[in-house]
């Protein structure tokens, strides 16, 4: 059965290691296409989305193998520019192969990417920005074909901050002729990791970590060995689990420097945190109200990927609260499932109002996307009774083994 069974009402005690970052691994794997040789990527998480990305790379003629925690990608036999629809259709991140393939081969054919249903996330801005770099694109209902006689640098003044567009433009620009300026560029740690990988490979990028990136195209990139940073969203998930269920846990390798807004929010809920050289200690249970609510934002603001998890924290805190979603318009899909568990939540536009005092009880609920699925598991940990979260495959897209990690933290949870 594609589900997780949780025996709730148990506090968490223990430690677990935080896996490598999903959101950093995918663009870095795409970036290996820009090199001619064998790249070695350490600490890639063993998750469904990475599996689909590796399948896409193989379909393009790359030789890919994984052993002892290292993925080796040999791009010397890259031969195709047409990606299989079944992998493209299930993973939104496949769009980032567009910029890399145009830089490497000059042409791409693909269907429109899929992924979690958390909002529109149109690719129009990707295509518009690439057209400004000399790409000719023909679209139909199913997908599009893109081709260029040679990418040229351009000043890209974006109408809003977009992680995906920033990644695509970086991948296209690093081998383009001339200079590309991206503003406002996304500042997420995953963007910084992609830039660091490309700089190690010989790319010229200035402004890393700021909202203005300047990329001077180079003629070639050389293969490198690179280590993916730890996943701040996975660390935030287990931090939220402690806030809901209570206890004392240690998140080994948690990237505290990339979690400032999340850790600060946890402390406002009344729990104790301690940043250590090798991870993060979390102790206590959320029992305070956030008078000014919680608003999602692009980095370094509070991440939208943790919004549904902190909605559960509010529901478990016994206090009233509200969340405003300012990144994706469809992040409240978890609300009906939480209401099944006894939560009192009202949605009005981009805000969700959570009314405390309603203890959660376990039942059968359905995951509809990656982070919402993880949030339902966390809710079940704090609820009374035995719960089941179906559609585990959504959760597997971003978590190596959420049941194993939570068992290491003392949870009573198993596959069902």
Q: Which residues contact 243 (CB under 8 A, 6 or more apart)?
A: 266, 269, 271, 282, 284, 285, 286, 313, 316, 317
Can you tell me which residue has the tokens 């081709």? Answer: 147
Can you tell me which residue has the tokens 């035995």? Answer: 386
Around 76, how many Cα atoms within 13 Å sit in the side-chain half-sphere? 7
| DSSP single-letter state for residue 221 | B
* Given the residues 81, 116, 242, 265, the one annotated as active site: 116
What sign has the CA pseudo-torsion 7, 8, 9, 10? positive
3-state helix, strand, coil in the chain (%, to 5): 35, 25, 40
Angle (CA) 222 224 227, round 5°: 150
Give the orientation angle of helix 232-245 with respect to helix 370-382, to 10 degrees. Answer: 20
Asked if 334 contacts 308 with a C-beta cutoff of 8 angstroms, the reply is: yes
Q: Which residues contact 17 (CB under 8 A, 6 or more apart)?
A: 252, 253
Alpha helix positions (H), 60-106: 85-90, 97-104
How far is residue 293's CA from residue 149's CA, in Å, rounded to a whole number?
A: 51
Residue 242 is a catalytic residue: no
Retrieve residue 41's tokens: 């990527």
How far is residue 217's CA from residue 146's CA, in Å, rounded to a whole number?
A: 20
* CA-based nearest residue to 331, from 308, 354, 353: 308
Q: How many CB atoms lie within 10 A of CB 301?
A: 12
Active site residues: 116
């Amino acid at each position: 059965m594609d589900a997780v069974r949780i025996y709730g009402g148990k506090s968490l005690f223990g430690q677990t290691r935080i896996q490598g970052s999903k959101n950093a691994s995918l663009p870095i794997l795409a970036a290996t296409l820009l090199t001619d040789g064998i790249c070695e990527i350490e600490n890639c998480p063993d998750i469904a989305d990475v599996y689909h990305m590796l399948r896409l790379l193989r379909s393009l003629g790359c030789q890919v193998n994984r052993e002892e925690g290292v993925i080796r990608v040999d791009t010397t036999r890259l031969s195709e520019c047409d990606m299989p629809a079944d992998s493209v259709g299930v993973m939104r991140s496949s769009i980032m192969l567009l910029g890399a393939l145009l830089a490497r081969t000059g042409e791409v054919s693909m269907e429109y990417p899929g992924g979690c249903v958390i909002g529109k996330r149109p690719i129009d801005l990707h295509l518009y920005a690439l057209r400004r770099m000399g790409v000719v694109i023909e679209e139909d209902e199913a997908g599009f074909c893109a081709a260029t006689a040679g990418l040229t640098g351009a000043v890209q003044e974006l109408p809003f901050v977009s992680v995906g567009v920033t990644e695509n433009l970086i991948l296209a620009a690093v081998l383009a002729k001339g200079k590309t300026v991206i503003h406002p560029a996304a500042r997420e740690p995953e963007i910084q990791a992609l830039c660091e990988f490309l700089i190690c490979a010989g790319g010229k990028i200035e402004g890393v970590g700021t909202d203005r990136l300047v990329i001077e195209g180079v003629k070639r990139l050389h293969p490198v060995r690179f280590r993916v940073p730890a996943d701040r969203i996975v660390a935030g998930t287990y931090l939220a689990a402690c806030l809901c269920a209570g206890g004392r846990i240690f998140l080994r390798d948690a990237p505290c420097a990339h979690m400032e807004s999340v850790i600060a929010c946890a402390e406002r809920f009344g729990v104790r945190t301690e940043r250590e050289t090798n991870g993060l200690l979390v102790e206590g249970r959320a029992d305070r109200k956030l008078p000014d609510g919680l608003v999602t934002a692009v980095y370094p603001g509070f991440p939208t990927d943790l919004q549904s998890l902190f909605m559960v924290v509010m529901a478990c805190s016994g206090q009233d609260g509200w969340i405003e979603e300012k990144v994706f318009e469809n992040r409240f899909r978890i609300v009906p499932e939480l209401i099944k568990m006894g939560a009192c939540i009202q949605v009005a536009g981009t805000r969700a109002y959570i009314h405390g005092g309603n203890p959660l009880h376990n039942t059968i609920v359905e995951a509809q996307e990656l982070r919402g699925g993880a949030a339902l598991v966390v809710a079940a940990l704090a609820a009374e009774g035995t719960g089941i979260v179906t559609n585990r495959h959504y959760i597997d897209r971003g978590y190596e083994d959420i049941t194993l990690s939570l068992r290491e933290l003392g949870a009573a949870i198993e596959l069902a």
